Amino acid sequence: MSIDFTRLNIEKVIIHEITRQALSDQKSPPHYSEIESPINDDIKLFLKDKVITTIGGSRSHEVLFDDDSNSPIPEIVIKLLDDDSDFVLLSKTIASHLNNIQSARSPGGLVTIIIANIQNRKVVGILKLEREEGARLEQTQREGRPTYDILHLRDLILTEKTKLFKIGLFFNEGLEELGYEGKICDNQLSFIPHREVAAFFLTSFLGCRLGGDPRVETKEFFTVSQEYFKEKIEDPIVQMKYNLHLLSYISNEKGVINPRIFARANISTTHRQPYVNYLEEKGIRITDIIRDTSLIENKINKMILEFENGIKIIGSQKGFDDKVSLEVMEDGKTRAEVVSRMKNIMT
């Protein structure tokens, strides 16, 4: 079952502020809201757009609650999904947990908790916004109790003083009907290894783990892509070019790979959509995949051209780029030329 995030309806919002901690064992408490933030249609639309562009985009990741985590967040989320009558109190516990685990090296920020529904499914959202020094959100009063105006939050998110934006969205009965309990989007995830992110936002704070095995997902993307090139691309030169692009892309040092982005950059318009459709038919996720090549290291370090007459050319990606040229002849056969010094003959 897919989720149409355009049908998200925001019902409740509350914001708490976490301050930068001093270099001491004494923790400064958060600046809590004691009542929900006032919301109107503009606020609902703003928050909905943030969810659509993050959780609803290709940079999101499916997550599961981690039974081995000491984080209180999974239990709190489950309570809120069942009954949000203690929304304010439980939201303060979420902010308190973040405050307790953050060190003096972490900048201050805002924790925003959302209650919403989508397609008759209850949703709990947790947004974490880190800010540069000097960007401060002032509390206001509502019914005589302190709270934060989300219009100010919106301005802060749009300003250059906003440093990082992370969001987790959790669904009622998600595991049973969707196969995962929530989705996260962390705009750092593309730039640093996933283990560093998981150690704090995903694991320490949210008490979650990634839904898929990065090793398996990386391998499946690689092998199914090779399968498509072999079965569907008749021109051997184009086939080799695509395989070289795949080797180069999956060998990069970025923390994630994205099949749709790979296709857009490396596959011709003629083959692009059929390739993406093929991946989807084979069950390959075409959103961000955490890059882990440990199961295919022996495959990405070399490339093999095999001909019908039994001849094989084996080499590295760079070797093929620099030293091997292919030409399709009129009779459909392929001429391969290797320009290099002879090193050895083995039988």
The domain spans of the chain are 5-210, 215-338
Cα–Cα distance, 149 to 66 (Å, whole number): 33
The string of pLDDT tens digits covering residues 35-79 is 999 888 888 888 888 888 888 877 788 888 988 889 999 999 999
Q: How much is the average pLDDT of 325-329?
A: 74
Q: What is the pTM of this model?
A: 0.67
Q: How much is the average pLDDT of 227-254?
A: 87
Q: In which band, very low, low, confident or very high, does the pLDDT at 157 lie, cut at 50, 70 and 90?
A: low
In 256-341, which residue ranges form alpha helices assigned H by DSSP? 259-266, 269-281, 297-300, 317-323
Handedness of CA 190, 192, 193, 197 (dihedral sign): negative
In one-letter notation, the amino acid at residue 93 is T
Cα–Cα distance, 305 to 287 (Å, whole number): 30
Cα–Cα distance, 321 to 319 (Å, whole number): 5
| Percent of the chain with pLDDT strictly greater than 70 | 82
Q: Please tell me which residue, 312 or 131, carries the higher pLDDT value.
A: 312
Cα-Cα end-to-end distance for the chain: 55
Q: Please tell me which residue, 103 or 158, carries the higher pLDDT value.
A: 103
Q: In which band, very low, low, confident or very high, does the pLDDT at 191 lie, cut at 50, 70 and 90?
A: very low
Closest CA to 81 of 150, 148, 169: 169
In one-letter notation, the amino acid at residue 272 is R
Q: How much is the average pLDDT of 172-199?
A: 64
Cα–Cα distance, 238 to 242 (Å, whole number): 6
Q: How much is the average pLDDT of 215-223?
A: 90
Q: What is the pLDDT of residue 113?
A: 95
Q: What is the pLDDT of residue 333?
A: 78
